[in-house]
Amino acid sequence: MQNYNIMLAGFGGQGILFAGKVIAYSGLIDGRELSWLPSYGPEMRGGTANCSVCLADEPIGSPLVLAPDILIAMNLPSYERFIGDVVSGGTVIVDRTMVDVCPTRHDIQFSALPATQLAEDNGLKGLANIILVGRLLRMTGFSTLESLNIAVEKSVPASKPQMVEFNKQALTLGYEFLDPKECEL
């Protein structure tokens, strides 16, 4: 399988760390080497948040992702901060509800879907993060939908069992969503 250095970024409260945890857990289920490194400002909710996830078939030397081959950006400041770090040939996925831009780079795969709006329109408020993980699966095949569904089951706290099914719906929505308004490069 391919190795992945993934950067997820947004502001506190968007579920950046949870989305990274789901991705990392899917790697564990798939028998891969992995690292999950959260980072957030002292203000937490509303402040900056990002998460580095590495998936590999051999031991990982460092959990820091300085040159991501995948970027998921959930707000404009995060997109602007990390877009220049994405390696040539990398993949960038943004929540178009929050990041209304088309990239000027032509050396990356780019997807902009209205994840926050999709979540609200489908009764999945707060799950834009997982919709974007579903899109990541569609674009890269980094895992399987089955592994991600198991990862959701393992990651959702026992105190919120109703959220398991909602997260699974969000994964499927992101995986299956087709939008003719996406940026054309």
User: Residue 42 pLDDT > 90, yes or no?
Assistant: no
Residue 113 burial class via C-beta count within 10 angstroms: exposed 0-12, middle 13-18, buried 19 and up? buried
Q: What is the pLDDT of residue 102?
A: 83
Q: What is the pLDDT of residue 180?
A: 57
SS (H, E, C) 142-181: CCCHHHHHHHHHHHCCCCCCHHHHHHHHHHHHHHHCCCCC
Model confidence, pTM: 0.93
Tens of pLDDT, residues 61-103: 888 899 999 999 999 999 999 999 999 999 999 999 999 888 8
Instruction: Go through the domains of the chain in sequence order and give each one's CATH number.
Output: 4-176 (3.40.920.10)
